Amino acid sequence: MSVRQPQGTPSRLRYWLFDLLRVMVTLSMVAVAAGAVGWARQQQQAHPWTRDGQVLGNVAQVAPQVAGPVIAVHVTDNQRVAKGDVLFDIDPAPFEQAVRRAEAELAKAQAEAAAPGQTETAAHAAAMDAVRAELSLARRQLGSTRVTAPVNGFVTNLELAAGTYAAAGTPQIVLIDADAFWVEGYFKETDLASIHPGDAAVVVLMSHPERPLDGRVASIAHGIERRNVGRAPGDLAQVSPTFEWIRLAQRIPVRIELIDPPADVPLRIGTTASVTVRPSAAADIAPNAADGRAGGG
């Protein structure tokens, strides 16, 4: 006489195996995700990366040393100029008159000193020196009516036109120094332990993603603006509300020096860049060596 299996046993076993399979798949997916997160964190620590970067550079504000109306502008907007190129001219007529007047004063003083019976005194010598100084200043001011480029660079946002009265010491033209570009990468403070001056870096411009640029960590900023402070002495601190369960890492500027950027990749101040730092082997070994010395002591 055969023993009958309880009704529905194969069906329950099949459901049990199916549930077990689902749990195993879920656990496998969780393990893969955890491994991916751990790998990404390890890679971030080994090769700090940020897409929050900007191209920066030196900006020269060109101001005349003498005042007067502008009679000619010799450059156009966005033009590249070389150091010493003429940018604009100020009306030289008043300064030419000042030179002629100083020359006449010098000739008069020399004639008086050479007159018969005239003896050289300390007062006469001082007066002669003063006249020569006036002439030298007049000639220098005349030469300053022609304003030249102090650096190799690019004229930008040109608004100067002939007829404008240019005040001495007031910038009239802005030049972007063509030889002084760098990239500022804003890294999370948690990445700074893996970044050291001298580390190699790779910069990718958003405008030219196919042309990565070689760079080097030049320096790391020692501070950023404090937000929770009063705007003026004596003001109360302005403390912003925060979420206790969320702590956002501050971003610290890291200056990246570009190494021989190609001439066909234009650099423009303010454009976006991604920066990857490749910590040097020496930087990785130094902390370990320091730990070994501390442990040995």
Distance, in Å, from the CA atom of 64 to the CA atom of 55, rounded to the nearest integer, reads: 29
Write the pLDDT tens digit of every residue in 70-108: 999 999 999 999 999 999 999 999 999 999 999 999 888
Rounded (5°) CA angle 69-74-80: 135
Of 45-54, 152-161, 228-237, the range with the lowest mean pLDDT is 228-237
Q: Is the pLDDT of residue 290 over 50?
A: no
**150 vs 287, residue with greater confidence:** 150
Rounded (5°) CA angle 40-46-49: 70
Write the pLDDT tens digit of every residue in 2-44: 445 555 566 777 777 777 777 787 877 877 777 666 555 555 5
CB of 53 within 8 A of CB of 203?
yes
If you write DSSP's letter for every residue of the chain in order, what string do you get?
Answer: -PPPPPTTHHHHHHHHHHHHHHHHHHHHHHHHHHHHHHHHHHHHHHS-EEEEEEEEEEEEEE--SS-EEEEEE---TT-EE-TT-EEEEE--HHHHHHHHHHHHHHHHHHHHHTSTTPPP-HHHHHHHHHHHHHHHHHHHHHHTTEEE-SSSEEEES----TTPEEPTTS--EEEEEEEEEEEEEEEEGGGGGG--TT-EEEEEETTEEEEEEEEEEEEE-S----SSS-SSTTPPP-PPP--TT--PPPEEEEEEEE-S--TTS---TT-EEEEEEE--HHHHHHHHHHHHHHHH-
pLDDT at 205: 97
Q: How far is CA 254 from CA 48, 50, 55, 129, 145, in A?
A: 11, 11, 12, 54, 41
CB of 128 within 8 A of CB of 113?
yes
pLDDT at 148: 97
Domains of the chain, residue spans: 49-58+178-296, 92-144
The mean predicted confidence, pLDDT, of the chain is: 84
Of 98-102, 193-197, 239-243, the range with the lowest mean pLDDT is 239-243
Q: Is the pLDDT of residue 224 over 80?
A: yes
Q: Is the pLDDT of residue 168 over 50?
A: yes
pLDDT at 171: 97
Distance, in Å, from the CA atom of 67 to the CA atom of 87, rounded to the nearest integer, reads: 15
Output the CA torsion 150→155→156→162 (10° steps).
100
Q: CATH class for domain 49-58+178-296? A: mainly beta
Mean pLDDT of the region 42-58: 81
Mean pLDDT of the region 267-279: 94
pLDDT at 285: 39
Tokens for 2, please give them: 């055969």
Distance, in Å, from the CA atom of 172 to the CA atom of 166, rounded to the nearest integer, reads: 7
**239 vs 144, residue with greater confidence:** 144
**283 vs 189, residue with greater confidence:** 189
